[in-house]
């Protein structure tokens, strides 16, 4: 018998019958092409309906005689007032539309900070530094080792210099030094890539969740680059790993009311003063996965900047579930029993993130999904809610039909595994996020930009490609940004932190069970 045949015994005759079945992979291929055909049919339904109507109209117009056309012209001459009123109204409405529509926001370019090799931290070095503190118990040192093994991080992530010393020196001066290295390093690279002068920047947004000195980080940037006195400057703190997209959204709103402006967005996290020196396991996880990094992004609303820009911002969708107590406390900065400050991660984190994502994509879906996917989702929803057909599974839209590239916040392996499963993404789609986690670790709000830089370095960005950035953060928040490529990004012309070693990626990251 073939692998696709099933034997069945007929109850009446006792004979063995053979039911021919297609192999599973052939069935999946058939379903794939059926769905693809359905997608193209629905997406082009308007054209399929308009073509016959246009053909009928053309045939009808071709039958008009010279006498018919003369009669129509005479009628228009006698209704000159109506024609003038309609024309004026049309011009007025068109003018009103072009004056009130939102300004287009362009991403001119961005840069990610790559620390120097002397602060590179392998897993073995991390464990040795942890032992040398003399603070962690043997059980918790073993716990941290298991976290590192299962984290998805590689051997070349970066740690602040102050924490690499023995003993560690977490103080305000060292924290400022880390902030300056990351911010100024990324901004210097960005200004060099774009040729923009610091005085031309009219809007500045800096986000860093856990380090908020006085003067602020945004004031530090203004002072270092001698930015102009009337700059609109904002500093966002305590907003978690999703603050990078909040900064993008804030800059977008400001660019709507500030014509002909450039906006600089700086996203980073500071580790020096936020390494946890205690033995609460829920707080030790963040020690193991967070690493040093940051990014600077230049946005513009100038029509003249479209030609040199890489992307256009299409949508931003923000979801905040802070009204729910479980969501609010799942990532919480507090003191442990020994008064050591740390960030505690709740066991409910994955469930909370899933609910936040569901809410976010419910808003984003209608904006980006093709009509074919929206129709399937609507039909399934009606069947389940109205007709109570509980046997029908909830339909998960195929976001691969809406986006070519996915940049999912590299918060940890568990987050990436869950989104890969729920969104039914391939290893190719997940590669930028997994390789960013492996090479740079969790760099908080800037991780999305390391992922986009990886995609560019691989030569995957083509003109018209759509990229979905998804970030999660304390509060609890899930934020999305959608970008459309304005041109092909040539990796040979790029300067980003991946270019010297992109040929070494992707690497195989072993998949192991999570820690209970």
User: Does position 64 have pLDDT exceeding 80, yes or no?
Assistant: no
Mean pLDDT of 77-85: 70
Residue 405 falls in the annotated catalytic set? yes
Of 408, 375, 105, which is closest to residue 258 (Cα–Cα)? 105
| Catalytic residue selected from 442, 478, 479, 496 | 442
pLDDT tens profile 325-373:
999 999 999 999 999 999 999 999 999 999 999 999 989 998 999 888 8
Mean pLDDT of 441-470: 98
Place of tokens 């996203």: 267
First to last CA, the chain: 45
Residue 479 falls in the annotated catalytic set? no
Sheet holding 405-408, edge to edge: 232-236, 203-207, 262-268, 294-300, 105-112, 311-320, 477-485, 466-473, 405-408
Total Cβ atoms within 10 A of residue 298: 26
Q: Tell me whether residue 63 is exposed, middle or buried, using C-beta atoms within 10 angstroms of its C-beta: 0 to 12, 13 to 18, 19 or more.
A: exposed
CA distance 479 to 325: 19
* Lowest mean pLDDT, pick from 94-103, 273-282, 402-411: 94-103
* Lowest mean pLDDT, pick from 51-55, 216-220, 303-307: 51-55
* pLDDT confidence bin for 209, thresholds 50/70/90: very high
Strand partners, 231: none
- 269 neighbors 209 (Cβ within 8 angstroms): yes
Where b means 16+ CB within 10 Å and e means fewer, 441-474 reads bbbbbbbbbbbbbbbbbbebbeeebbbbbbbbbb
> Is pLDDT larger for residue 268 or for residue 44?
268
pLDDT of res. 94: 77
CA 515 from centre of chain = 27
| Catalytic residue selected from 405, 407, 478, 479 | 405
Average pLDDT along the chain: 88
pLDDT tens profile 117-132:
999 999 999 999 999 9
pLDDT of res. 80: 66
Of 282, 285, 384, which is closest to residue 337 (Cα–Cα)? 282
Mean pLDDT of 84-101: 76
| Catalytic residue selected from 112, 288, 409, 479 | 409
- 289 neighbors 269 (Cβ within 8 angstroms): no
Helix (H, G, I), strand (E, B) or coil at 5: strand
CA Rg value for the chain: 28
Element (H, E) at 186: helix 172-194
| Catalytic residue selected from 208, 274, 287, 320 | 320
pLDDT tens profile 286-320:
999 999 999 999 999 999 999 999 999 999 999 99
Could you give the domains of the chain? 105-502 (3.40.47.10)
> Which are the contacts of 85, defined by CB distance < 8 A and separation ≥ 6?
none
Residue 442 falls in the annotated catalytic set? yes
- HSE-CB for 478 with a 13 A CA cutoff: 23
Of 322, 298, 326, which is closest to residue 310 (Cα–Cα)? 298
User: Does position 277 have pLDDT exceeding 50, yes or no?
Assistant: yes
> Which are the contacts of 268, defined by CB distance < 8 A and separation ≥ 6?
113, 179, 182, 183, 186, 206, 207, 208, 293, 294, 295, 443, 444, 445, 446
User: Does position 98 have pLDDT exceeding 80, yes or no?
Assistant: no
| Catalytic residue selected from 241, 288, 330, 478 | 241
Looking at the chain, the whole-number percentage of residues with pLDDT higher than 70 is 85
> Which are the contacts of 204, defined by CB distance < 8 A and separation ≥ 6?
218, 221, 222, 227, 231, 232, 233, 234, 263, 264, 266
pLDDT tens profile 19-47:
444 455 445 555 555 666 656 666 666 66
* Lowest mean pLDDT, pick from 94-98, 439-443, 463-467: 94-98
pLDDT of res. 13: 45
pLDDT tens profile 162-181:
999 989 999 999 999 999 99
- 354 neighbors 344 (Cβ within 8 angstroms): no
């Amino acid at each position: 018998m073939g692998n696709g045949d099933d034997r069945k015994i007929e109850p009446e005759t006792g004979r063995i019958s053979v039911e021919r079945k297609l192999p599973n992979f052939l069935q999946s291929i058939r379903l794939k092409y059926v769905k693809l055909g359905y997608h193209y049919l629905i997406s082009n339904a308007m054209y399929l309906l308009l073509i016959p109507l246009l053909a009928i109209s053309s045939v009808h117009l071709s039958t008009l005689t010279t006498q018919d056309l003369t009669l129509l012209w005479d009628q228009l001459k006698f209704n000159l007032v109506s024609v003038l009123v309609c024309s004026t109204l049309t011009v007025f409405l068109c003018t009103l539309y072009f004056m009130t529509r939102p300004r287009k926001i362009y991403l001119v370019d961005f840069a990610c900070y790559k620390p120097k090799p002397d602060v590179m931290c392998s897993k073995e070095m991390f464990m040795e530094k942890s032992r040398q503190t003399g603070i962690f118990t043997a059980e918790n040192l073993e716990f941290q080792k298991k976290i590192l093994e299962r984290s998805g991080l590689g051997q070349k992530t970066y740690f602040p210099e102050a924490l690499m010393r023995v003993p560690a020196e977490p103080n305000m001066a060292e924290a400022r030094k880390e902030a300056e290295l990351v911010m100024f390093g990324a901004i210097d690279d960005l200004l060099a890539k774009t040729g923009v002068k610091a005085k031309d920047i009219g809007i500045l947004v800096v986000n860093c969740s856990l380090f908020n000195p006085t003067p602020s980080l945004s004031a530090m940037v203004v002072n270092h680059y001698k930015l102009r006195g009337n700059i609109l400057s904002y500093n966002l703190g305590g907003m978690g790993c999703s603050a990078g997209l909040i900064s993008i959204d804030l800059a977008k709103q400001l660019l709507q009311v500030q014509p002909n402006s450039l906006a600089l967005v700086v996203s980073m996290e500071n580790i020096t003063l936020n390494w946890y020196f205690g033995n609460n396991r829920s707080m030790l996880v963040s020690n193991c996965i967070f690493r040093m990094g940051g990014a600077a992004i230049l946005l513009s609303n100038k029509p003249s900047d479209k030609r040199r820009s890489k992307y256009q911002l299409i949508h931003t969708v923000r979801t905040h579930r802070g009204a729910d107590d479980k969501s609010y406390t799942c990532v919480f900065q507090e003191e442990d029993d020994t008064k050591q400050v740390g960030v505690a991660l709740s066991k409910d984190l994955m469930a909370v993130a899933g609910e936040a994502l569901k809410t976010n994509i419910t808003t984003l879906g209608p904006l980006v999904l093709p009509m074919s996917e929206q129709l399937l989702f609507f039909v399934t929803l009606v069947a389940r809610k109205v007709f109570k057909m509980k046997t029908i599974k909830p339909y998960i839209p195929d976001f691969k039909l809406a986006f070519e590239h996915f940049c999912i916040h590299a918060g940890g392996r568990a987050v990436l595994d869950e989104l890969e499963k729920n969104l039914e993404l391939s290893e190719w789609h997940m590669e930028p996020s997994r390789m960013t986690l492996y090479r740079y670790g969790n760099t908080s709000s800037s991780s999305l930009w390391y992922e986009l830089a990886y995609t560019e370095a691989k030569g995957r960005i083509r003109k018209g490609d759509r990229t979905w950035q998804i970030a999660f953060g304390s509060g609890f928040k899930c934020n999305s940004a959608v970008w459309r490529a304005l041109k092909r990004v040539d990796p040979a012309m790029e300067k980003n932190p991946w270019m010297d070693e992109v040929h070494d990626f992707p690497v195989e990251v072993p998949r192991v069970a999570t820690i209970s």
